[in-house]
Amino acid sequence: MANQDLINYIKQVREQGVSDKEIKKTLLEQGWTEGDVNEGLKSILSKTVQAKQPVSPAGGPIKKPKPKWLLPVIVIVGIIVLGVGVWAGYNYWLKPGPPEEEEAAPSDFIEESKIPEAPEEIVDCGEIGPDNLDPTGERQSCFEAKFTECKLAKFIISIDLGPLGGLTSNYYEIIGPSDNLCAVKSKYLKVLNPEWVNKEMACRYDNSMEFEEAIKDMSNCQGELYNLINPPLKTMLYKGVSVTDPRLSLKIGFLGKRDSKYILSVEHTQNASCGKKEILLSPDGSYSCDGKSYIFKLDAAGSDDNQITFSTQVQKEE
C-alpha cells in the first residue's frame, strides 16, 4: 500500500502543474524507491480515473466489452515490461557501481526527511521611507524578526540625508545562516554616487544583535560594492616617523630600508596582547590581531628611500 504522506505530496505538486516525470525524478533523488514512487503515482492516477469514469443508471461504472485481441496484447505488453524490469534490475542491483555507504531501508520504513519540502519563500517585509512611513513599526519589526531567526526576507529602507547626500535607498535580502552568522546581501537602489547603484555586496552579520548595530561590522563583507565603498587606506610616512591611525586602531612607523625591503613597525592601540611587530614590505606584508589581517602594500618610495606611501586593507582571517 502506498505511503499516505507520499500520496499527499504527489497530489499537491500535480495540482501545481508538475509533470509525473519530474515528480518521479525528484522523489528518486530524495531516496524513495522506484516501487514506492510508482505505487504512489498509480494510486493518484487510479483515483483520477475513477472520478472521471461514467456511471451507469444502476450506480456502477459502465463496462466496455473487451476486444478479442486484448489477451495477445496483454501477453506482449507483459513480455516488454518483464524485459524492461530485467534491464532495470540489472542496472539497479547487478551492474557494478560505487559501494553504498549505508544499507537501504526496507520499503515499508519511511523516513519523514525523504519527503521533499517545498522551497522556503522569501518574505517581503515591504519598504519604508520619507514618502512611505511605517507608523506602527510593523515592516521594520518584520525584517528584524527574520534577521534574528536568519530566515529569508527582503526589505527596502530609504533615508533623506539632505545636503549630505540626498535620498539614499538601500535594499537588504537575508540569504540564510553561514558560519554561525547570518548572511545578508545588499545594494543601493539610489545613492549620491551613481557608480554604487545596483552594485551588490554580501556580508555575514551577528544576528544576536539588532540589525542596525550588526551592519556596522563590515569585516565579513565582500563583493563589488564593498570594494567600492571601502578602498584601501593610503598613508605616507617619513623614516623615523610614527602615526596612529584611528581608522585601523594601529600605530604605524617607518623604520627604513633593509635588504631591499622597506620596514614598518606596527602595533595595535586597543589590544596590547597582539604585540609590536616589524613588517617587511616585499612589496606586501601583513599584521594579524583580533581575528583580522591588516595587509600593507607598498605604493611608492622616495628617491632617497626616506619616504614611502603604502595602502592598508583589513581582511577577516578564515
Residues in a beta bridge with 264: 254, 279
Q: Mark the ranges of the chain whose per-residue pLDDT is less than 50.
A: 53-97, 100, 103-113
User: Based on the domain organization, do 48 and 78 belong to the same domain?
Assistant: yes
Q: Any idea which residue has 558560519 for its cell?
A: 179
Final residue in a domain of this structure, among 88, 114, 140 = 114
User: Based on the domain organization, do 214 and 135 belong to the same domain?
Assistant: yes
Distance CA 284, CA 12 (A): 59
User: Based on the domain organization, do 53 and 72 belong to the same domain?
Assistant: yes
User: Based on the domain organization, do 67 and 129 belong to the same domain?
Assistant: no
User: Based on the domain organization, do 66 and 159 belong to the same domain?
Assistant: no
User: Based on the domain organization, do 99 and 189 belong to the same domain?
Assistant: no
User: Based on the domain organization, do 223 and 132 belong to the same domain?
Assistant: yes
Q: How many CB atoms lie within 10 A of CB 194?
A: 9
Contact residues for 157 (Cβ-Cβ < 8 A; gap 6+): 127, 128, 129, 140, 169, 170, 172
Confidence at residue 150, expressed as pLDDT on a 0 to 100 scale = 95
User: Based on the domain organization, do 201 and 265 belong to the same domain?
Assistant: no
Final residue in a domain of this structure, among 229, 260, 278 = 229
User: Which residue range(s) make up the domain with 79?
Assistant: 4-114
User: Based on the domain organization, do 216 and 128 belong to the same domain?
Assistant: yes
Distance CA 308, CA 239 (A): 8
Phi, psi (deg, nearest 5) at residue 69 = -85, 5
User: Based on the domain organization, do 84 and 152 belong to the same domain?
Assistant: no
User: Based on the domain organization, do 129 and 217 belong to the same domain?
Assistant: yes
Confidence at residue 163, expressed as pLDDT on a 0 to 100 scale = 74
Confidence at residue 73, expressed as pLDDT on a 0 to 100 scale = 40
User: Based on the domain organization, do 215 and 296 belong to the same domain?
Assistant: no
Q: What percent of the chain has pLDDT over 90?
A: 35
Domains contained in the chain, number = 3
Confidence at residue 48, expressed as pLDDT on a 0 to 100 scale = 62
Final residue in a domain of this structure, among 164, 195, 229 = 229
Reported as a single tens digit per residue, the pLDDT across 140-157 is 999 999 999 999 999 999
